[in-house]
Chains A and B, each alone.
Chain A
Amino acid sequence: MAKVQGAVKVNQERCKGCDLCVVACPLDVLKLQPKEVNNRGYHYAYMHNPEACIGCASCAMVCPDGCIEVYRVTNK
């Protein structure tokens, strides 16, 4: 079976740390930065567990600020 691998790129300066992508992710890939903040003072989201990502784009669908880009490859 082909293995699907994904990755997301979060626009850190646009992210407001609302946590909705973290809740929406079915595989717990994303997390908010525990300490780091962007230049507006928000704890932005990042890929905490990149291996688990399948590029389903659930996070990008619910992101209110459109700061998530989703990439996906299928290894044959």
Chain B
Amino acid sequence: MTPEEIMKPENLVYAKPRLLNDNHMHYCPGCSHGVVHRLVAEIIEELGIEDSTIGVAPVGCSVFAYNYIDIDWIEAAHGRAPAVATAVKRLNPSRMVFTYQGDGDLAAIGTCETIHAANRGENIAIIFINNAIYGMTGGQMAPTTLEGMKTSTTPYGRRVDLNGYPLEMSKLLAQLDGTCLVTRQAVHTPAAVRKAKAAIKQAFINSMEGRGTSVVEIVSTCNSGWKMSPAQSNKWMEENMFAKYPLGEIKNTVKK
């Protein structure tokens, strides 16, 4: 059979989710944000909760997340997404509320809001994109930047005596009693994408059922900030990032 004969609606196995609209994404080629956006859209579509979902967009590369997924969104001030999500969820307890934040937003400017929202056990899902760098502003050092990693503000590599240690937000949040799910995933291979999808789905279900705060950290790449090709950055991430940020479930209090 020729490809034209195979490409018929009845043979369709996979297509872009309906909720991910046709706007051209502003992300750099190969950015992990696109994959996570697609997963969020897919899961909301699968769960059939597009009318009862409210997303809170952060400041950072994903600031325009509301342009790409057709659900209700609120744009929060820098780092304040968990605080805004707290209000949204408390006023609309029947809604599924999630925040979508990068590491500069969640781990630097919004550390206080994130920790307190998680400590209060707000019934929200937090998607945390950790690429160890401030991608949007030009690749400056973030709290999550690895030791010795070169960024535009640490051209000779991050020094522990000067800049401190990389902040492991997920490990920290797992200590709090309010969190019900803390997991670290990646989206660099098809298998990892499927696992990440299952984790985000679980987080969204937890939010709807009011089980507490769910945190899904996605270790991702920033090929522009790291000055590598997308394929090279995936390899670099596997070799360097996973040593500091190993994948897997850190905490799950939900009984299976």
Query: A-side interface residues toward B, CB under 8 Å?
Result: 5-7, 9, 11, 14, 16-20, 23-24, 40, 42, 47, 50, 53, 55-58, 60-73, 75
Contact = CB atoms under 8 A, between A and B. Distances in A.
A64 B35 contact: yes
Interface in B209-235: 229-231, 234
Contacts of A5: 1, 6
Nearest to A25: B190
B3 A47 contact: yes
B30 interface: yes
Contact of B29 (A16, A23, A66, A75): A16
B3 A60 contact: no
B7 A7 contact: yes
A58 B32 contact: no
Contacts of B3: 7, 47, 50, 53
B1 A75 contact: yes
A31 to B, nearest CB: 13
Contacts of B27: 64
Nearest 6 A-B pairs (CB), nearest first? Answer: A64-B34, A18-B30, A16-B29, A18-B29, A66-B16, A7-B3
Contacts, number: 99
B193 A62 contact: yes
B187 A62 contact: yes
18 contacts: A5-B6, A7-B7, A17-B29, A20-B30, A24-B189, A50-B2, A57-B190, A61-B193, A62-B193, A63-B34, A64-B25, A64-B32, A66-B17, A69-B15, A71-B8, A71-B11, A71-B12, A71-B13
B89 interface: no
B87 to A, nearest CB: 31
Contacts of B201: none
A47 B6 CA distance: 13
A68 B20 CA distance: 13
Nearest to B230: A18
A16 B33 CA distance: 14
A75 B30 CA distance: 35
A62 B6 contact: no
B38 interface: yes
Given A17-B29, A50-B3, A57-B13, A66 B20 contact: yes
A23 B17 contact: no
A55 B13 contact: yes
Contacts of B190: 24, 56-58, 61-62
A26 to B, nearest CB: 9
B14 interface: yes
Contacts of B17: 66
Contacts of A42: 29
B194 interface: yes
